[in-house]
Amino acid sequence: MASTSRRMLNWISWAPLVVLFEFKVATIKRVDGRSMSPTFNPDPAPTRDIVLFERGPAIAPQWWYSPLKRGDIVYLKSPTDPDVLLVKRIVALEGDVVVPRTMYAYPGRVHIPPGHAWVEGDEPLGRDSNAFGPVSCALFQGRAACIVWPPSRIGAIPVASEVGDAWSVPRRLAARERERKQRVVVGGIVRAL
């Protein structure tokens, strides 16, 4: 019979596996701020959402069965400040052409370079690609998988839908998605040399 300290040490020796899970498989993050409203932290919500992010598609896209798509929500390190984490939606991938929201730093069209993506919040608050341009996909840390808190909205991430109440989250998301798709040319424009 092992002593108590020996048994505790035996339990603690599994800790690296838990940390490795957090690094490589999935992580839980609390989302602050309004920038992803109404997907996360919808306007009247008194709590801040806690979201489960899966690591695989972000850290090893070449090995993953479902790569990052336009419309996926990712969390990434801010390109302008390595200590800041952002939660944003992928609007365009490499090779696409984007018309930024006009009030920001990038007038005209932007061609997304290889390995980069254009990310935006659902609310036009500005700390997204409209301010800092296309971001490298290597900055992505995880893809949002589901909401784990608050209990009223546990489960899948809300998706756009045309059915339902006029001010429901799916309808509002659908309106935003329409606006987004108008500004993206998927695959870009073939330019004559």
Residue 184 to residue 35: CA distance in whole angstroms: 20
Q: Do residues 109 and 93 make contact, with C-beta atoms less than 8 angstroms apart?
A: no
Measured distance between the N- and C-terminal CA atoms of the chain, rounded to whole angstroms: 78
Tell which residue, 94, 99, 74, 109, has the closest CA to residue 180: 99
Out of 3, 13, 35, 168, which one is annotated catalytic? 35
Residue 104 to residue 109: CA distance in whole angstroms: 12
Site for other proteins in 6-45 (CB under 8 A): 13-14, 16-17, 19-20, 23
Minimum distance of other proteins from residue 19's CB (angstroms): 5
- In this chain, which stretch among 32-40, 70-78, 97-105, 152-160 interacts with other proteins, using CB under 8 A? 70-78
* 77 is a catalytic site residue: no
Residue 79 to residue 68: CA distance in whole angstroms: 19
- In this chain, which stretch among 101-109, 129-137, 153-161, 164-172 interacts with other proteins, using CB under 8 A? 129-137
Instruction: Give the residue with the Cβ less far from other proteins, 8 or 138.
Output: 138
Minimum distance of other proteins from residue 16's CB (angstroms): 4
Minimum distance of other proteins from residue 159's CB (angstroms): 27
Here's the x/- map for other proteins, 95-114, by CB under 8 A: it reads as ------------------xx
Asked if 2 touches other proteins (CB under 8 A), the answer is no
The residue within the footprint of other proteins, chosen from 83, 156, 182, 191 (CB under 8 A), is: 83
Q: What is the identity of the amino acid at 72?
A: D
Residue 129 to residue 119: CA distance in whole angstroms: 5
Residue 85 to residue 58: CA distance in whole angstroms: 14
Instruction: Give the residue with the Cβ less far from other proteins, 79 or 158.
Output: 79
Asked if 180 touches other proteins (CB under 8 A), the answer is no
Alpha-carbon Rg of the chain, whole angstroms?
19
The β-bridge relationship of strands 50-54 and 26-30 is: antiparallel
- Interface residues toward other proteins, by CB under 8 A: 13-14, 16-17, 19-20, 23, 60-62, 76-83, 113-116, 135-139
Tell me which residues are annotated as active site.
35, 88
